[in-house]
Amino acid sequence: MNIFAEAAKLEEQNRPFALAQIVDSRGSTPRHSAQMLVRSDGSIVGTIGGGMVERKVIDEALEALSEKASRMFHGRMARSGSDAVGSDCGGAMTVYISVHGLRTRLVLIGAGHVNRAVARAAALLDFDIYVGDIYEESLNPDCFPASANLIAAKTFADVVDKMAVRAEDFVLIATNNQDRAALDKLIVQPVAWLGLLASQRKVQVFLKQIRESGVAEADIARLHAPVGYNIGAETPEEIAISVLAELLQVKNHAAGGLMMQDNPPLHRLKIIAGEECQ
């Protein structure tokens, strides 16, 4: 099996994998130049030479996938000492382990004008996009990025089930008039971010009804509604920017606010003895 063909397939499917590349090799080592692909279940394509060093690299690759961060591995073909891998070859090897197939999944409940605009904008941000609706005609592929996964079901509760929403997903509900069906399924399910596109009045009505149904405050607190930043957005495209700005703030663990609040304009700075101070 070709490593890069498998990598392309896994990347397209957004399935996690790591690529291990020998970047330095000294002395007696199993291989001096090689690549190996490591899937999330520990299976591999290719080899960097086998033996104890390969087992160590596979373990390191699985740790890198769990942490979602690339890393460098240093191994010495020795039984003891720093970076020893438990073999007797005597050489040393450095392997760069890069992680892939980890695009953030954005689940859009509803295929109306706003979620279409959100999908188009989110595609530029490298999200793995899923869109679900009960009206198949609303899921016209021409209205969405080619990479979007379009899912139809009889009810919005069924849409949520078919999406198989995960704890690390970002979810936006925008169904126009059937938000509660999706919200009732999702409000008690931990996700990275849950947004509801609705007016302030609609949100207050929903929150009252949800509380009366016995949903815990800790679950209710996860809901972002009304969703987005107040930038005077009116068109679907403007609303999409407002929504994605809030989503990215959460995803990137950012404080939010205006950049100029952290970086005062020049007219507010004074130059004193060659130094800047506010």
- pLDDT for the residue numbered 116: 98
Segment holding 193, helix H or strand E? strand 193-196
User: pLDDT tens digits for 188-242?
Assistant: 999 999 999 999 999 999 999 999 999 999 999 999 999 999 999 999 999 999 9
Contact of 114 with 239, CB cutoff 8 Å = yes
CA distance 54 to 242: 47
Q: Which domains does the chain have, with CATH numbers?
A: 3-100 (no CATH), 105-251 (3.40.50.720)
User: pLDDT tens digits for 125-165?
Assistant: 989 999 999 999 999 999 999 999 999 999 999 999 999 99
Report the predicted TM-score, pTM, of the whole model to 2 decimal places: 0.77
User: pLDDT tens digits for 12-58?
Assistant: 888 999 999 999 998 888 888 999 999 999 999 999 988 888 999 99
pLDDT band at 277 (very low <50, low <70, confident <90, very high): very low
Let me know the angle formed at the C-alpha of 154 by 223 and 150, rounded to the nearest 5 degrees: 70
For residue 131, the cross-strand partners are 108, 150
Cis peptide upstream of residue 226 (ω within 30 degrees of 0) = yes
User: pLDDT tens digits for 18-31?
Assistant: 999 999 998 888 88
What would the DSSP string read from start to end of 150-188?
EEE-SSHHHHHHHHT--TT-EEEE--SS-HHHHHHHHTT
